[in-house]
Chains A and B, each alone.
Chain A
Amino acid sequence: MQDFEQQLRDALARKEQPPYFEAKVLAATRRQPKPVFLRWAFATASALLIAAGIWTDHRAGIQAKEQLQLALRVTVTELGKVQRTVRASTEEE
């Protein structure tokens, strides 16, 4: 039995891989796409940046609208004052 097992060990002795194998694998690893989690991380980061940009634009838009409304209110008030002044001077004449 031991002889037969030794014969099997001899028959199944390790073989040498082809001489180019190591270089081929190393070259293939350089061509390999990034791991899935890195691609997901990149996609998530991109989406967050875009969302942050949109939110910033949105906030800036709201602020601009509020400033315009304030300016219009001030203008309306000032115009009212001018109109009242003009009307008062017209009545005096």
Chain B
Amino acid sequence: MPTAGAATEANVECPPNMTFAELLRANQSMVFSLAYHFLRDRGAAEEVAQDVFLRLHGKLDDLADSRHVVFWLRKVTSHRCIDYARKRGSQFTIALDDTSEPSVASQPGDPLLNRRLQQLIAALPEKPRMVVVLRYQEDLTPEEISEVLEMPVRTVKSHLHRSLAMLREKIERSMGDIR
């Protein structure tokens, strides 16, 4: 099982012809984390992640190679999360400060800053939010993100550029307020 924070392992971790149980073990942290960082709701992330793996179970014979599974999992999880967030819509508002954090083997960085950044990312519109999560959780390039989200590379870069500028401005302002 990949350790928390080891995003790049997912790119090389799946040898061909793995069983479903092995694929689940190797990728559950990646799928759960994508859903959690996007939805900021532990229960919803668990529900989405389980749904994604059940779909993988039904689809496994169609996926030629286990290495395609990682791409497929990122793609299906991303789209499923965006659909989930849209369906949930405005009826669901979560007090982010009240959410309990899933455990992390060793959370790097400043915990206060991390938490504030997670809250700001959660407030981004759906597609830019998923672009940011895929870029900084999974270390994907804009080209890889464009394949996963089926959008032009130009749009991915534009979402990244605008989201980073907005996040940086807000984090500087809010950390300034705290200090």
Q: Residues of A with Cβ closer than 8 Å to B?
A: 4-18, 21-22, 24-26, 28-29, 32, 35
Contact = CB atoms under 8 A, between A and B. Distances in A.
Interface residues of B, number: 51
B148 interface: no
Contacts of A5: 136, 164
Interface string B117-142: 11001000000000011011101000
Contacts of B164: 4-5, 8
Contacts, number: 117
Given A5-B136, A16-B29, A17-B102, A29 B54 contact: yes
B11 to A, nearest CB: 13
Contact of B114 (A4, A10, A14): A10
Most chain B beta carbons < 10 A, residue from A5, A8, A22, A32: A8
Contacts of B3: 14
B149 to A, nearest CB: 16
A11 B107 CA distance: 8
A15 B29 contact: yes
B146 interface: no
Contact of A25 (B24, B105, B171): B24
